[in-house]
Amino acid sequence: MSRGFVREDDQEEAPFIPPRAALPDGVTNYVTPRGLHFLQEERKALEAERAAVTGNEDERRRAHAVIDGKLDLLIERIVTAHVVEPVDGKQTEVRFGNTVKFEHTSGPQKGKEFTFNLVGVDEADVKEGRIAFTAPIARALLGGKKGRTVPFQLGTEVKKLKILTIE
């Protein structure tokens, strides 16, 4: 079609939809029950936001396009979520959903202790002590046993992390 028959104001850019937290290809979307709850709450909030959109037709159409894009990404995460229920009893090996306290036994952070809960990618928040199970430090800790030291590759260095407690 000739450009002479296209109105300039019909040429609208596609909205930018921010991506969700990265989940590597082929990796199962593990979530805790808490994580699934937050995904479902996020869906309800987006649906309510979509219903409350106001403005002229163009503004509503643009707002709906952004919200619909976010909803599509979110629904994909909810549909692929594999909930891992917490295990009751004493834990001897680090697993998804565990809270792990560990100490650096080498490097500049030697002697420093950290506590992290290993969670799904959508509920990770380092400030709140939750790291994604796909994070390099989480992968180093997974499968480790209480009292044992595990290697953690950080760049060209191999750090040592001693697992102090598993909850």
pLDDT single digits (tens) 60-118? 999 999 999 999 999 999 999 999 998 877 888 999 999 999 999 988 899 999 999 99
Domain with CATH 3.10.50.30 in the chain: 99-166
Alpha helix ranges (H) inside 26-150:
33-51, 57-80, 136-141
pTM, 2 dp: 0.84
CATH 1.20.950 fits domain 27-85: no
**The listed CATH number (3.30.200.20, 3.20.20.80, 3.30.565.10, 3.10.50.30) that belongs to domain 99-166:** 3.10.50.30
d(CA 62, CA 159): 49
> β-pairing, 81-83 with 99-104?
unpaired
Q: Is 55 left (phi over 0), alpha (psi -120 to 50) or beta?
A: left
Domain with CATH 1.10.287 in the chain: 27-85
Q: How much of the chain exceeds pLDDT 70, in percent?
A: 93
